[in-house]
Amino acid sequence: MLFQVFSGLMFLSLFSSIQGRSTKYVTCGSVIKLLNLSYKVRLHSHDVKYGSGSGQQSITGTDVKEDVNSHWTIKGPINKTCTRGEPVKCGMTIRLQHLATSRLLHSHHFVSPLSSNQEVSAFGEGGIGDSGDNWIVVCEDEFWERDDNVSLKHVDTGMFLASSGHTYGRPINGQMEIVGIRRKDSSASWQAVEGLYIHPSVMTKTKHDEL
Ligand SMILES: *[C@@H]1O[C@H](CO)[C@@H](O)[C@H](O)[C@H]1NC(C)=O
Ligand SMILES: *[C@@H]1O[C@H](CO)[C@@H](O)[C@H](O)[C@H]1NC(C)=O
Ligand SMILES: *[C@@H]1O[C@H](CO)[C@@H](O)[C@H](O)[C@H]1NC(C)=O
């Protein structure tokens, strides 16, 4: 796991030069953080398992701004590749891979620990999970633009990714519960922040430098 964190950091430094060339789209291969605008928590995971439900790796919302455990890489749906730099269309199915542990943002019919909504976990080994890792990007225009408020709809169960407002005690004091909810309202919107966005034309040029 230390090695994975390290290679993740290498990845970040490799692409940090691209950060300056702004693209207005969120693209495949980009590494982003997802912010809940009302509560200012960032989607987060870490090597802490749920003590109930699936017992899988937990997903939380953290109010710490700088934390390598809040980085997520945008991937195509399971068993499909999405070319690095390809802009994500509204309505497209994606997966979000947690950079530090390689696990995928996942949901399924387990009950969440605090609010008894649907559990959201981090799943899979070595980046291989299952169809429960697929999420549809819900946004209004043709593409997911960086400033957009987007929702993520879980393909298998139709639930929307949200923070319940409940907070955990030890060992993850103060972090918020992340769940799947049935109805999309304004509370289910996320914004991509502090990302390393891969620009389409830059990616073709730098292909040889890839890991
Ligand atoms: C993805 O591919 C693997 C290996 O071919 C297969 O076992 C699995 O069922 C596929 N999953 C989906 C959701 O298509
Ligand atoms: C996104 O949501 C925030 C908070 O709910 C709101 O203030 C902002 O105007 C929204 N932005 C867009 C582009 O809809
Ligand atoms: C943001 O946090 C508020 C308060 O906890 C919650 O009601 C809302 O559902 C959250 N939104 C998302 C997208 O998590």
What is the spatial distance between Cα 167 and Cα 173, in angstroms, rounded to a whole number? 7
- Please work out whether the CB of residue 79 comes within 6 Å of at least one atom of ligand 1: yes
- Asked whether the predicted pLDDT for residue 27 surpasses 70, the reply is yes
Q: Does residue 199 surpass a pLDDT of 80? A: no
Which pTM does this prediction carry? 0.85
Q: From the CA of 151, how far away is ligand 3's center (Å)?
A: 11
Residue nearest to atom 11 of ligand 2 (CA): 149
How confident is the model over 103-130, as pLDDT tens digits?
999 999 999 999 999 999 999 999 999 9
Residue in 33, 36, 177 to alter for ligand 3 test, most ligand atoms within 8 A of Cβ: 36
Among protein residues, the one whose CA lies closest to atom 13 of ligand 3: 188
CATH 3.40.50.970 fits 2-209, yes or no: no
Q: What are the pocket residues of ligand 2 if the criterion is a CB atom closer than 6 Å to any ligand atom?
A: 37, 147, 149, 186, 189
Give the ligand at the shortest distance from the Cα of 145: 2
Asked whether the predicted pLDDT for residue 61 surpasses 90, the reply is yes
Looking at all shown ligands, the one closest to residue 175's CA atom is 3
- Short-list 10, 20, 18, CA closest to 71: 10
**Cα–Cα distance measured from residue 115 to residue 165, given in angstroms and rounded to the nearest whole number:** 9
pLDDT (average), residues 164-170: 93
Q: What is the mean pLDDT of residues 28-47?
A: 93
Give the Å distance between the CA of 164 and the centre of ligand 3. Answer: 6
